[in-house]
Amino acid sequence: MSKQSKRREALVYHAKPTPGKIKVVPTKKYASQRDLSLAYSPGVAEPCLEIAKDKNNVYKYTTKGNLVAVISNGTAVLGLGNIGPEASKPVMEGKGLLFKIFADIDVFDIEVDTENIEEFIETVKNIAPTFGGINLEDIKAPEAFEIERRLKEELDIPVMHDDQHGTAIISAAALINALELAEKNIEDVKIVISGAGAAAISCSRLYQSCGANLENMVMLDSKGVIRKDRENLTKEKAEFATHRKIDTLEEAMKDADVFIGLSTSNIVTPEMLKSMAKDPIVFAMANPDPEIAYDLAIATRDDIIMATGRSDHPNQVNNVLGFPFIFRGALDVRATKINEEMKMAAVLALARLAKESVPEQVNIAYGETHLTFGKEYIIPKPFDPRLIGEVPPAVAKAAMESGVAQESIDDWDKYKESLLERLGADNKIVRLLVNRAKLNPKRVVFAEADQLDVLKAAQIVYDEGIAHPILLGRRDEIEKLKEEIEFDADVPIIDPKSDEELERKNKYAEVYWQQRKRRGVTLYSSQKIMRERNYFAAMMVNTGDADALISGYSRSYPSVVKPMLELIGLAKGASRVATTNLMMTQRGPMFLSDTSINIDPSSKDLAKIAQMTSKVVKMFGMEPVMAMVSYANFGSSTNERASKVREAVSYLHRYYPDMIVDGELQTDFALNSEMLQDIFPFSKLAGRKVNTLIFPNLDSANITYKLLKELNKADSIGPIMMGMRKPVHILQLDASVDEIVNMTAIAVIDAQQKEKWELENQSTK
Ligand SMILES: NC(=O)C1=CN([C@@H]2O[C@H](COP(=O)(O)OP(=O)(O)OC[C@H]3O[C@@H](n4cnc5c(N)ncnc54)[C@H](OP(=O)(O)O)[C@@H]3O)[C@@H](O)[C@H]2O)C=CC1
Ligand SMILES: CC(=O)C(=O)O
Ligand SMILES: [Mg+2]
């Protein structure tokens, strides 16, 4: 993607569909007059009075305990400098988003229009009663030091200047691990620090706590090396002033073991890197552009251990790995401070985690095959789901042991479990899907590429490397739309109606005719039918000219399924096709089958649908726990509709005893593991969390899925086609661009799996 398109994409992302990145969502019912009389007057007076009696009750009756203020005055926004409070708001909203998705902490972002230290402190102190914690952000040094020191002293809730301590914690963990790989001792290494601001000073102090020697450090600011003989140094800079008679970064870098960049972009040259000691460690952490570009650094020295603050290269040393989890731990024990002990506990937890074996989910999420501790993996990845289970407990424990916790945790296993529960699975699942597709992108033909949304989706999958799109449709229309959305990549366009495709059309017609010539099909009618886009696209997949197909955006589902079934046919061993929908519900991801095809399946069909769905659930990295739902529970009705489901279950139990499936069951029992455990403790599902529902007929499945989508605004991925010989996936009429992108990822994964099975079959023959 060009720099210009990236810029546009970032602006559209922030502007559409609603400006900004976060919103406020009520957590209580508000549907009836009664609800409102509780939420507001007169009911609300009761918690007010309780809190007036005892301020601690504010944690019991309000969101304070899980609410953090991300506060800035916009004086040091990333590496963009003093761009003012309004211009800092996207970053602060971004931090809010990260707090929420990584640690389930709610955030109000607050941008304060003052550069005066006293005014800023006064503002924060005045609003502090609202919050459980204060995250100071992007405030320039030296003001940031005084502001944080005073607020820590004067407030009884945790206050942390993220750019100082978040950065220090993460980079210290990365440094410990990098030094281990380089086989160097922290006490001995020569460290150059570019930048003498909030982040640099705090990092350097923490490295000292980890054992680094002040005598071995050289720090630089915008004026050059900070020497003892320089005048008018702030007290923080003076703390790091060196006796060495050097003035420039170039001189400082000679024979240095470690470079820490917390200053500004592109100030380190390849020559400087070459002058460093063997196995140099370079953390170029300025954002958005580092002190030296990752690729350039790697190309300059092959013994380098390199990290940046960015997510698009290995080793992202960025405070995003810290602030969500540090505050989570601090809030959960109502710590009054974030102290040195808590910071060190976070450092050690992060450093330790990087050395443990990486769950497959993380490999997939980052499009990697085998992340292991080494030069390109010195620190955990932000999307590592283990972070929330490891860092907050370490921080909370340290808070308790150092005497700043106001509440204690006794059952650490239970606490860890509750932390893992906090993370919704929605985004994770989509990410997993997309990244799995990216590992081995396939050629996907978009049969309706002359529709704007389909083309937009094709552009996204192309840009993100999810698939190699083939655009099928009216060439002139596609060209026009491509220009409109500035999709300038050279991807194949195929217009089945044009003369250019005559040869290919004839080839497909011949194949089609050969298969059906004894069923009343003539060569002429075959040639005619190949002008129809879905037939043409299906033949592309059939003959290996494409790996997968996406269609259905502009036509009714059955009208697309029919030709696909006729042309592509069923997979080996499949007796029918069916679909499943993945719904992102508040309870977590749920698969619902069959949502689109089988009107009144028999018990055998139901068993088959369950089996096929189980494979799809596994494809999403989840263990299927399946309820075959009905209006009845375990034989409570003898009606044939209930017994059909019962028979399907007994078939599965008999032939597939390892499948975790049971029924017939009413949906409320299926979704409530405790109720199920109490009343039907013999069930295979008792005590388990059901993630898949197999419905007895199309009516119930389709109605439920649409109801969830409309009433609960649950996002849906699907319908995912199961049982087709080739990867053909059919969109709902008017699917959104996101839905088309997700469906393409599914089509690619489907193609990857079919390819794998074919290879396995060949090797066993
Ligand atoms: N990866 C991460 O997680 C994080 C990265 N950062 C990045 O670190 C940088 C600094 O942030 P922060 O400390 O908050 O900002 P500050 O404004 O507090 O500090 C900036 C420092 O950089 C120095 N500086 C500017 N230009 C140069 C130069 N050419 N050579 C050497 N030093 C220079 C300034 O010098 P002077 O004192 O003379 O003005 C100042 O000391 C930013 O790029 C920010 O994005 C920050 C926090 C986290
Ligand atoms: C990451 C961060 O907080 C910064 O660059 O300022
Ligand atoms: Mg910052």
| CATH code for position 525 | 3.40.50.10950
Is the CB of 163 within 6 Å of ligand 2? yes
- CATH code (residue 70): 3.40.50.10380
Q: Same structural domain for residues 9 and 134? A: yes
* Strands 661-665 and 217-221, bridge-based pairing: unpaired
User: Is 349 within 8 Å of 342 (Cβ atoms)?
Assistant: no
Q: Is the residue at 172 inside a domain?
A: no
User: Is 272 within 8 Å of 300 (Cβ atoms)?
Assistant: no
Strand order in the sheet with 661-665: 661-665, 626-629, 692-694, 588-593, 578-585, 715-722
Is the CB of 315 within 6 Å of ligand 1? no
How far apart are alpha carbons 579 and 723 in whole angstroms? 9
- DSSP-derived secondary structure letter, 275: T
Is the CB of 95 within 6 Å of ligand 2? no
- My answer on whether omega of the bond before 594 falls inside 30° of 0, hence cis, is yes
Q: How many other CB atoms sit within 10 Å of the CB of residue 680?
A: 16
Closest listed ligand to the CA of 201: 1
- The ligand 1 atom at the shortest distance from the C-alpha of residue 285 is 1
User: Is 166 within 8 Å of 160 (Cβ atoms)?
Assistant: yes
Q: How many other CB atoms sit within 10 Å of the CB of residue 654?
A: 9
Q: Same structural domain for residues 667 and 563? A: no
Q: Say how many Å lie between the CA of residue 344 and the centre of ligand 1.
A: 23
Is the CB of 225 within 6 Å of ligand 1? no
User: Is 256 within 8 Å of 188 (Cβ atoms)?
Assistant: no
Nearest alpha carbon to residue 195 among 218, 212, 216: 218
Q: Which among 320, 341, 360 is the end of a domain?
A: 320
Q: Is the residue at 414 inside a domain?
A: yes
Polymer length in residues for the chain: 765
Q: Same structural domain for residues 7 and 141? A: yes
Q: Is the residue at 147 inside a domain?
A: yes
Which residue numbers in the chain have pLDDT < 70? 1-2, 360-361, 364-365, 367, 369, 424-428, 763-765
User: Is 721 within 8 Å of 730 (Cβ atoms)?
Assistant: yes
Q: Same structural domain for residues 583 and 559? A: no
Q: Which residues, in sequence order, are CB contacts of 595 under 8 Å at separation 6+?
A: 579, 580, 581, 698, 701, 702, 705, 718, 719
Work out the percent of the chain whose per-residue pLDDT is above 70.
98
Say what the pLDDT of residue 44 is: 97
Is the CB of 286 within 6 Å of ligand 1? yes
Q: Same structural domain for residues 246 and 201? A: yes
Q: Which amino acid type is present at position 436?
A: R
Q: Is the residue at 594 inside a domain?
A: yes
Active site residues: 40, 95
Angle, CA 143 vertex, CA 137 and CA 146 arms, to 5°:
95
Q: Same structural domain for residues 312 and 330? A: no
Helix 162-182 with 143-154: angle, nearest 10 deg: 110
ipTM: 0.98
Among protein residues, the one with the nearest Cα to ligand 2's atom 4 is 78
Q: Same structural domain for residues 213 and 311? A: yes
Q: Which among 274, 290, 320 is the end of a domain?
A: 320
Say what the pLDDT of residue 424 is: 59
Q: Is the residue at 416 inside a domain?
A: yes
Say what the pLDDT of residue 426 is: 55
- The ligand 1 atom at the shortest distance from the C-alpha of residue 144 is 18
Closest listed ligand to the CA of 137: 3
Strand order in the sheet with 548-551: 493-494, 467-472, 442-446, 548-551, 728-730
Q: Same structural domain for residues 208 and 308? A: yes
Phi-psi region of 407 (alpha: psi -120 to 50; beta: other; left: phi over 0): beta
Q: Say how many Å lie between the CA of residue 78 and the centre of ligand 2.
A: 5
Q: Is the residue at 765 inside a domain?
A: no
Query: How would you write 39-101 as a 3-class SS string?
Result: HCCCCCHHHHHHHHHCHHHHHHHCHHHHEEEEEECCCCCCCCCCCCHHHHHHHHHHHHHHHHH
Q: Same structural domain for residues 650 and 541? A: no
Q: How many domains does the chain have?
A: 5
Nearest alpha carbon to residue 175 among 317, 71, 53: 317
User: Is 550 within 8 Å of 446 (Cβ atoms)?
Assistant: yes
Closest listed ligand to the CA of 81: 1
Q: Is the residue at 457 inside a domain?
A: yes
Pair of tokens at residue 746: 């599914």
Angle, CA 101 vertex, CA 98 and CA 107 arms, to 5°:
60
- CATH code (residue 712): 3.40.50.10750
Nearest alpha carbon to residue 100 among 133, 136, 131, 68: 68
How far apart are alpha carbons 41 and 50 in whole angstroms? 15
Candidate from 163, 235, 246, 311 with most ligand 1 atoms within 8 A of CB, to mutate: 163
Is the CB of 318 within 6 Å of ligand 2? yes
Quickly list H helices, 424-546. Answer: 426-439, 452-463, 475-484, 502-516, 523-529, 533-542
Say what the pLDDT of residue 2 is: 67
Q: Same structural domain for residues 349 and 362? A: yes
Pair of tokens at residue 283: 């953390």
- DSSP-derived secondary structure letter, 222: T
Pair of tokens at residue 292: 């030296």
- CATH code (residue 248): 3.40.50.720
Sign of the alpha-carbon torsion through 93, 99, 100, 106: negative
How far apart are alpha carbons 523 and 642 in whole angstroms? 49
Q: Same structural domain for residues 307 and 329? A: no
Q: Which among 568, 594, 615 is the end of a domain?
A: 568
How far apart are alpha carbons 527 and 531 in whole angstroms? 7
Q: Tokens 């761009």 label which residue?
A: 83
Q: Is the residue at 28 inside a domain?
A: yes
Q: Same structural domain for residues 73 and 125? A: yes
How far apart are alpha carbons 257 and 247 in whole angstroms? 18
Domain interval for residue 130? 3-157
Q: Say how many Å lie between the CA of residue 85 and the centre of ligand 3.
A: 13
Say what the pLDDT of residue 579 is: 95
How far apart are alpha carbons 541 and 567 in whole angstroms? 10
DSSP string, 660-704: -EEEEE-HHHHT-HHHHHHH-TTSTTTTS---EEE-SSHHHHHHH
* Strands 728-730 and 588-593, bridge-based pairing: unpaired
User: Is 50 within 8 Å of 39 (Cβ atoms)?
Assistant: no
Say what the pLDDT of residue 425 is: 53
Q: Which amino acid type is present at position 76?
A: A
Tell me how far apart the terminal alpha carbons of the chain are, to the nearest angstrom: 44
